[in-house]
Amino acid sequence: MTIDVYWRIPTHGDRQSFRVDGAGRGDWYPFVPGSSNPGLRDGEPDGLTYLDHMGDVARAAEAAGFAGGLLPSFPMTDDPWVISSALARETKTFRYMIAFQPGFAHPLHVARMAASLQRLSGGRTLFNIITGGGGPAQEWWGDPVAHDDRYARTAEFLTVLRGVWDGRPFTFDGRFFPVRDTALPPGLTDEEFPEIYFSGSSAAAIEAAGAHSDYYLSWLEPLDALRTKFEQVRERTEALGRKPKFAVRVDIAARPTSEQAWKEIQRGWELVDHEAVARMYSANGSRGDSVGAARQSQFSGGDTPRDHRDLIVSPNVWGGFSFLRGGPALSIVGSYEEAAERLDELIDIGVDAFILAGTPHLEEAYRVGEEVLPLLRSRPAADASPAAPADRPHQLTVA
């Protein structure tokens, strides 16, 4: 059995550390003084572009043994298609997992972009299909479509994307994307169809994932909740005659000792402006209609904790990461050994792939790749599995 381990490319800015307030890397935060690694320059920006920083992260993650990187897509991020096509030329084996919401571009247009990207990267493109969590983000996109209809649109999009891929004329009488006798042009039809990671926790998401995903992707949740959700996906996928695979996306704060890891969290916690966070939540009025996001806050134990320890969900699982950097709440905190044990537990309940991350993404790629992954009950495929395809050197083979 092999496990694919990915890192994250921070398309949304990167802090220098949880212990430093505000300052980030490159020119992503031009409005924050001291943002461009100005150490020896008296606070003056040093001209490091944010694209350079993302390239540094991709190269470091590749060197540290990760199979590739997820490029998230939110209203406040760089565009994953553009960034991955630039970075593909700077790495050799590193794969680029593009997050995007089907529906904001026509599937034929996306098929052409993806096939071109496969060609220029040597087949290193894959997708995280996201369907949108409603609320202000969905409004930002100008998307009025309701939750379950968005999944119907996603399913239709993926049907058309696959349908046009092989170059034979494809007709589909769709509600969102009707197409008639259309296909990719010759020259783009020899590329491998990108692997599909599929995110979303609602019943509509699980239904669509069953039909269209290669990997069902979840944020970290307590083991019992994940096990139950995976079982639902498995049932649905197998009912359609397909074989399910599972992936988990989780941030890791690992240090040589557990005490050091928790100290890091505590120092980050001391910088959180809790009143601003509370104001942000009440100003939003609604956090949208994302079932997955609602599950994260349900498991994490509330929005107004007094102490970071109030948010410990289970040993080495902390529900406060959304306070430190936004996004999902549950993360792994502990010694290198403890972090590896938690990942091994996830492998035991059926996880086939991970998307890991840490802040700052550059240094933590090396740390997690060099200190945590070698402690898994798994070994790099390069020395353990001659059967591993030559172009996937970073798979782990579980002992």
Tell me which residues in 100-129 interact with ligand FMN (CB under 6 A): 128
Candidate residues 124, 153, 249, 308; the one interacting with ligand FMN per rule CB under 6 A: 249
291 binds ligand FMN (CB under 6 A): yes
Q: Which is nearer to ligand FMN, 70 or 188 (CB)?
A: 70
Q: Note whether 84 binds ligand FMN by CB under 6 A.
A: no
8 Å CB contact between 124 and 389: no
- Answer yes or no whether residue 131 interacts with ligand FMN by CB under 6 A: yes
Q: How many residues bind ligand FMN (CB under 6 A)?
A: 22
Nearest to 397 by CA among 383, 382, 381, 386: 381
- Half-sphere exposure (Cβ direction) of 365: Cα atoms closer than 13 Å: 25
Whether 249 contacts 231, CB under 8 Å? no
With CB under 6 A as the contact rule, the residue among 5, 108, 114, 130 that binds ligand FMN is 130
**Range in contact with ligand FMN (rule: CB under 6 A) among 109-117, 211-219, 304-312, 382-390:** 211-219
Q: Cα torsion at 287, 290, 291, 296 (round to 10°)?
A: -60
Nearer to ligand FMN, 201 or 322 (CB): 201
The span from the CA of 259 to the CA of 9, in Å, is 28
Residue with tokens 């080495």: 316
Cβ atoms 220, 320 nearer than 8 A:
no
Question: Which residue number, 77 or 182, has a Cβ lying nearer to ligand FMN?
Answer: 77
For residue 292, state whether it binds ligand FMN (rule: CB under 6 A): yes
Asked if 299 interacts with ligand FMN (CB under 6 A), we say no
- Single residue of 219, 262, 299, 318 touching ligand FMN by CB under 6 A: 219
In this structure, what token pair is assigned to residue 341?
């044990």
- Residue 99 as a binder of ligand FMN (CB under 6 A): the answer is yes
Q: Which stretch binds ligand FMN (CB under 6 A): 30-38, 132-140, 162-170, 279-287?
A: 132-140
Contact residue for ligand FMN among 199, 296, 335, 378 (CB under 6 A): 199
**Matching residue, tokens 């949304």:** 12
Q: Identify whether 194 is preceded by a cis peptide bond (ω within 30 of 0).
A: no
Is 395 a binding residue for ligand FMN by CB under 6 A? The answer is: no
359 binds ligand FMN (CB under 6 A): no
210 in contact with ligand FMN (CB under 6 A): no
Q: How far is CA 224 from CA 248, 300, 314, in A?
A: 14, 15, 12
Quickly list DSSP for 259-327: HHHHHHHHHHHHT--HHHHHHHHHHHS---S-HHHHHHHHHHT-S--SSGGGGEEETTEES-HHHHHSS
Binding of ligand FMN at residue 26 (CB under 6 A)? no
User: What's the rounded Cα separation, in Å, for the pair 352 and 348?
Assistant: 10
Applying CB under 6 A, which of residues 202, 331, 359, 378 lies at the interface with ligand FMN? Answer: 202
Nearer to ligand FMN among residue 245 and residue 249 (C-beta): 249
Give yes or no for a contact between 169 and 184, defined as CB atoms under 8 angstroms apart: no
Say whether residue 343 binds ligand FMN (CB under 6 A). no
Query: Which chain residues interact with ligand FMN by CB under 6 A?
Result: 72-74, 99, 128, 130-133, 137, 199-202, 205, 217-219, 249, 290-292
